[in-house]
Amino acid sequence: MLGQDVFAAAQAGGHEAVALPRAELDIADRESVHGAIAQARPEVIVNCAAWTDVDGAEEQYEAALSVNGTAAGYVAAAGAAVGAWTLHVSSDYVFAGGKREPYLESDAVAPASGYGRSKLAGEREVAQAAPGSHTVVRSSWLFGANGHCFPRTIARLAAERDELRVVSDQIGCPTFTGDLAQALLELAQTRPLGVLHVAAAGECSWCEFASEIVAASGADCRVSPCTTEEFPRPAPRPAYSVLGSEREDLAPALPHWRDGLAAYLLATREPVA
């Protein structure tokens, strides 16, 4: 999702962009990473590659860690070797989720899942590999027009069922990748050092998000709340992972999540014949 949106936004902005999908570059292969970056000699690297299967990371933690942790360090080190700035995308899952007000960049990290631990490892690998030339961008609940995401799944299920039960006790910031891509391009220009929180404005539960999606789809489907305990998953999720920023002068402000959803729906609308 995010990689395609960043590439499209970079091209639209007149930048010379090189996009390397996994079929062309496995970031877990250190020699391949250094070779590809040495050949491209970019000014900025935006690392959108990640292991995103949260539940799968519980059973395959070492595999998730190799991509989200070790490989992130390879990318940053290869960038530093050619004088490039690294923008690394991280996650709200580095936090435990016990707060009831937005997490700031200086809040203590305490990931509760294997996925969260792997993303935190990536942040630390990047900072170590490129200590003077990196920005770690934590974002939240990403959804986008390219690939699998929550709105696409909910819209499909709403067309098939009379009722959906969706978790109502997990709160976050659903963030449209089209909006985050534009923010990453801005950060590619300003290049602030360290950690920044960049997520959609506002907050909601998964149930509230699903209700908005179903309403927009026009499906005759009822959305009912349930608790996390009623819908167990292999990996624990933060109960509250809303992101705020204490570096507002450096962190781009994104539109409200409802505006992001409207932009997603516009981008995924079937063309009129």
Q: Which residues are catalytic?
A: 115
Alpha carbon 18 to chain centroid, angstroms: 20
Measured from the Cβ of residue 215, the count of other Cβ atoms closer than 10 Å reads: 12
3-state secondary structure of 92: helix
Q: Which of 250, 242, 253, 201 is nearest to 95 (CA)?
A: 242
Q: CA of 198: how far to CAs of 39, 42, 139, 231, in Å?
A: 30, 23, 5, 29
Helices then strands (H, E): number in the chain? 10, 10
Residue 96 carries which DSSP code?
Answer: -
Helix (H) / strand (E) element for 85: namely strand 85-91
